[in-house]
């Protein structure tokens, strides 16, 4: 986990359908440093992200995608709690 406020600037692409100009453009945004590489990789591969937070030691890190899918980074302990409610299929 990074220290609160420790951000890294990354380039993300704002697609034409969300752009005020009607064209794709790139934007430089600050992202929590400990998840910045992952957010950058998603955006570089055309997966639009709208928000992210490392959780600052209080909750799991998460990245929210344009389609309202949430990616969460769980510790093993947290994952086991999730499995109690949603058992693995295999």
Tell me: the pLDDT tens digits for 31-80?
A: 999 999 999 999 999 898 989 999 988 889 999 998 999 999 999 999 99
Query: For residue 3, what pLDDT is reported?
Result: 65
Query: For residue 4, what pLDDT is reported?
Result: 66
Strands (E), the chain: 7-14, 25-32, 49-53, 61-65, 70-73
Predicted model pTM = 0.78
* pLDDT band with cut points at 50, 70 and 90 for residue 14: confident
Between 54 and 2, whose confidence is greater? 54
- Those residues with Cβ within 8 angstroms of residue 74's Cβ, 6 or more apart along the chain or in another chain: 60, 82
């Amino acid at each position: 986990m990074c220290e609160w406020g420790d951000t890294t600037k990354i380039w993300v692409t704002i697609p034409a359908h969300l752009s005020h100009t009607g064209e794709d453009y790139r934007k430089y945004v600050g992202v929590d440093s400990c998840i910045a590489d992952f957010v950058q990789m998603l955006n570089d591969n055309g997966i639009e992200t709208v928000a992210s937070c490392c959780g600052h030691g209080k909750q799991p890190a998460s990245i929210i995608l344009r389609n309202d899918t949430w990616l969460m980074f769980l510790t093993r302990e947290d994952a086991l709690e999730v499995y109690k409610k949603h058992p693995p299929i295999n």
